[in-house]
Structure 1
């Protein structure tokens, strides 16, 4: 029996799912760590991206912040946290993952709000809207597709990376990978990797559908083709596009 067969055998055993600290408990803990990290990153990155995007300035600052955040490896942060008062465990992992999630949220929010046509803003103000109404009723719906894409990208990256929590005494599905590696049981290690990859793909699918449902305007499922009207050419649907940095 090869290692992939052992992994499938491990995944098909109901006891491995239902026992205490089994796959179900580890998956829920994995999702909890990831959700808190993405939420913390959104709380930090969204206001900065909105402020800079509506002011249409600060592109250099956004690039610097994003590049610095990307340049710091998550594992290096976890190592630094281990010798600091933050220490080991899920808290250290959550902070490191939040730093990792900031760049896509910040960049997409900035690009989305900066890409709103200034004439649309002026027209809204000419209708008597306040600054808050323009932001919430005009700019946000137009920027929402890019903002949602940034959050979705950050969430998938965090879910795929949260397995590092096991290296610093944290929980999540990474414990299966760590356990399999430590015991030289590569079947368990492969099973953990499959679960992490599957959870990341599931996160992508759920958030993509949620983004599709919340985006205002005409919508269609991405796998459906637009049929051309009889006797004429097809009319492309409007798409939301960002302004490059």
Structure 2
């Protein structure tokens, strides 16, 4: 009886089928990372079936995965560096802005302090009652023209209508007709002394008004007991007649060149 090759469901896989299965297994290993253990001895022993190393598929997949990961990491590093640089630039700009604002604020404060100091000095300063003038008749000069027998102030040379200013900061306590002084103004000064301005042609302030150094208070003239236009200026320790002091020494004592 002759023996024949088994057919149907008991027939073993062909060489071509086994080769295809081996290639598919290598692909599965490359993509999943799991090495199967179910390969049959017949398939493993078949020398014609190419291994994973023979096809190069596993190495290619692993190399591709590594290269892609490296590129992703490099891109992430580059993005992080760019973000860090942007944050550093923003912080530097914010710091520069804060410093600029601080400098501007300090400059404004310094300017305001300087302005206040300058104003304080101006208010505490003294000046001549008529700018650029000079003393034409001195203090305590004798003569019949004065009822007391001596001059109780000094006369500053001035044409009629010349501006007369307060010599320092004070408050007006008298503004009007003063008998022999004609139109006159008396100011109580900041230091408690008094100054008087006589023979005015006009008066520009009123009682109770505060005046500053150099502020115009009237115009010179020749009203009252006078022989011609000029400014009679007195310095006193009180508002009363007879408390006069040397006007030139008074002004010099307050830093005025006379």
Q: TM-score, normalised by structure 1?
A: 0.19
- Which is bigger in relative contact order (C-alpha 8 A, separation at least 6)? 1
Greater strand share, structure number = 2
- Please tell me whether Structure 1 or Structure 2 has the larger radius of gyration of its CA atoms: 2
